[in-house]
Each structure stands twice: as C-alpha cells, then as structure tokens.
Amino acid sequence: MTASSEGRDGTGNRKGAGGLCGGRVVIVTGAGRGLGRAHALAFAAEGARVVVNDLGVGPGGDGGSAGPARQVADEIVATGGEAVAHGGDIATAEGAESLVRTALESFGRLDTLVNNAGFLRDRMLVNLSEADWDAVIRVHLKGHFLPLRYAAEHWRAETKAGRAPVARVVNTSSGAGLLGSVGQGNYSAAKAGVVGLTLVAAAELGRYGIQVNAIAPAARTRMTERTFAGAMAAPEGGGFDAMAPENVSPLVVWLGSAASDGVTGRVFEAEAGRLTVMEGWRPGPTTDRGARWAPADAGEAVRKLLAEAEPPRPVYGAGQGGG
C-alpha cells in the first residue's frame, strides 16, 4: 500500500492514469464501512489514490478497531489501486493533522478531502444527555472542521509557493440537517452546522483554488438501518437497489474531481438515482413599516406574512410518538 513514483501533469493527475480522478490523492474519513467505503472504492475505480480513514467504532461511537480501514485499503490494492489506511481520530487536532500528513508522506500530494465520519446517539430532547450531545457534535462537526482546516492550510501554502492546487472538499450533511429529525436533535444540529461550515469555507478558500460542497445523502448504512428499518432493505432477486450506498458515490467522485470546476458552496441531495440541488434559505414575504413595531402589531404583520409564505417541509418523524 505505497505510492508509485509516476510523473504528473499540471492538473494533479498521474500521466497515463485513467479515470475521472486519475492520479488524484483523496482522503475519505469514516471510510471503513457504509457510504465512506463506497466513496473510497469509487474514487479508486476512477484512478485516485486513497487514504482510508476510520476509527472502527460501533454505530454509537463505542470501541474501535484498525480492521475496517485496513480492509478497505487492502481491497483497493487487491484490485490494482493504491491506498493506505489511517486510524487516527480526526476530531482531534493531532489526528486531523496526521491524516493530511499521511496523504503527503504516502503519495506526495493531496487533492480531495471527503468528510464523512460520524455516528448516532439518538434520543428525544428531554432524554438527551450532555455526553451524547457532545459526542455527536464532536464527531460530525469538529470532525469536519479539523481535517478541513489542516487540508486548507496545506493548500494555502501550495498556492503561496506558486503551485495552485485543484483542490476539492466534499462535506456530508443530511436531510436531518436541512429539515430536522425527531429524536435526533444532536445529529440535526451537527449536520445543519456542516452546511454553515461549507458555505463559509467555500467563500473563504476559493482564492486558494479550493472548492467546497456538501451532500445530503440517503442510503442504507449502519446509521440508518434502525431509522428506516425494512424500507431500506435490498431488493430480493436483484434489480436496482435504490438504497445502496454506492448510488451516492458517483456525485461525490465528480465533486471531488477536476471536472467539477466552478461548482462550490452548494448542497446536493443524493438518493437512489435522484440528484437535487438544494436552494436553502431565501427571503420570502416581507414588510417594512420604517419604524419600530409594537409587539401586537408585529404579531399581526407576521401572521399576514405567513399567510403568503410557502409552508415549511415537515420535520422527519414529526407526528410520531416518542418517549
């Protein structure tokens, strides 16, 4: 699982390497299973050299094993690709810095970062402990920020040295972050934060040749199997598996490639064969009296505005009981 020493052209691709991401070096966090594994394999199939990061923890963040990351890296190598495993905790500065250093020491460069790592600790708000809140916010939000911060630091240095990168970051939000999800206050808050981080990073980092986008995927993984139960089961007897994680990866690979030039600061939903550009918060009906409102008058004005506004999409799970 070591890098080759082939020459490179000005696009960050290995000369003679095939595929959409030929020769690009890609980090995928949380790549030992589920969506991350699918992304890592898809990038490798398109010619990328992959750093496979995973702590190997359980669905709730418990335990830990180097096995899942190593298995995916070995799978890539067995099919003729190049990959290395990284088992560091990317929600720590030390782990995130070592993740970027692993890419540079193994392959001599870094082109794409896919932030995907995460786990769930679902509770209704009145039952949600501070520890479960902190753990989920940490892995999803801090675990996005720190790898992004160290990758961006490297790419900024490259730009200042006259080696402008063709850099890509793909963050992972969720429908829960866009709409909310009953029983997932911690997860919804973290994934909404990922969207905000994505928008700021796209605005700040474009000057260094870095594009930053986010996806809100829907697929069958360990994190979703309890939420969706049988609705996400693989079809019997073959046919299109609408909930396979592999359905999301083509968009991620394209966003992580040089071919996505000019696309930044966007959020996409990806589910089965459907891709959607999410348009986010935009101003709706408004009124301005040119002076301070009295509370009762403000309330009356708001009710008139709400009557003109589009109704919000429902929160996932709204109307269902819970304890």
Residue 8 lies in a domain: no
Give the separation between CA 50 and CA 40, rounded to whole angstroms.
7
The CATH number linked to 195 is 3.40.50.720
Residue 62 lies in a domain: yes
In this structure, what token pair is assigned to residue 210? Answer: 């870095």
Residue 321 lies in a domain: no
Residue 316 lies in a domain: no
Average pLDDT, the chain: 89
Do 127 and 273 belong together in one domain? yes
- Residue 123: per-residue pLDDT: 96
pLDDT in tens, 240-264: 889 899 999 999 999 999 999 999 9
Which range marks the domain in which residue 295 is found? 285-310
- Strands 267-271 and 274-278, sheet pairing: antiparallel
In this structure, what token pair is assigned to residue 219? Answer: 């697929």
- Residue 240: per-residue pLDDT: 85
Do 70 and 181 belong together in one domain? yes
* Least trusted range by pLDDT, from 11-20, 151-160, 202-211, 304-313: 11-20
Do 264 and 306 belong together in one domain? no
Judge whether 169 and 210 are in contact, CB under 8 Å. yes
pLDDT category, 71, cuts 50, 70, 90?
very high
Do 156 and 299 belong together in one domain? no
135 backbone dihedrals φ, ψ, rounded to 5°: -65, -40
Do 235 and 300 belong together in one domain? no
The one-letter code for the residue type at 63 is G
Q: Which residues contact residue 16 at a Cβ distance below 8 angstroms, ignoring those fewer than 6 apart?
A: 6
pLDDT in tens, 133-176: 999 999 999 999 999 999 999 999 999 999 999 999 999 999 99
Residue 232 lies in a domain: yes
Judge whether 213 and 268 are in contact, CB under 8 Å. yes
* Least trusted range by pLDDT, from 42-56, 184-198, 225-239: 225-239
Do 272 and 135 belong together in one domain? yes
Residue 14 lies in a domain: no
| Enzyme catalytic residues | 174, 187, 191
- Residue 67: per-residue pLDDT: 85
- Residue 219: per-residue pLDDT: 84
Q: Is 267 helix (H, G, I), strand (E, B) or coil?
A: strand
Do 192 and 290 belong together in one domain? no
Assess whether pLDDT exceeds 80 at residue 58. Answer: no
Do 209 and 295 belong together in one domain? no
Do 212 and 302 belong together in one domain? no
Do 218 and 291 belong together in one domain? no
Do 165 and 197 belong together in one domain? yes
Angle between helices 143-160 and 93-107 (to 10 degrees): 50
Do 289 and 178 belong together in one domain? no
Q: Which residues contact residue 101 at a Cβ distance below 8 angstroms, ignoring those fewer than 6 apart?
A: none
Question: What is the enclosing helix (H) or strand (E) of 219?
Answer: none
Number of structural domains in the chain: 2
Q: 61: left (phi > 0), else alpha (psi -120 to 50), else beta?
A: left
pLDDT in tens, 169-196: 999 999 999 999 999 999 999 999 999 9
Q: CB atoms < 10 A from the CB of 207, how many?
A: 9
Residue 212 lies in a domain: yes
Residue 82 lies in a domain: yes
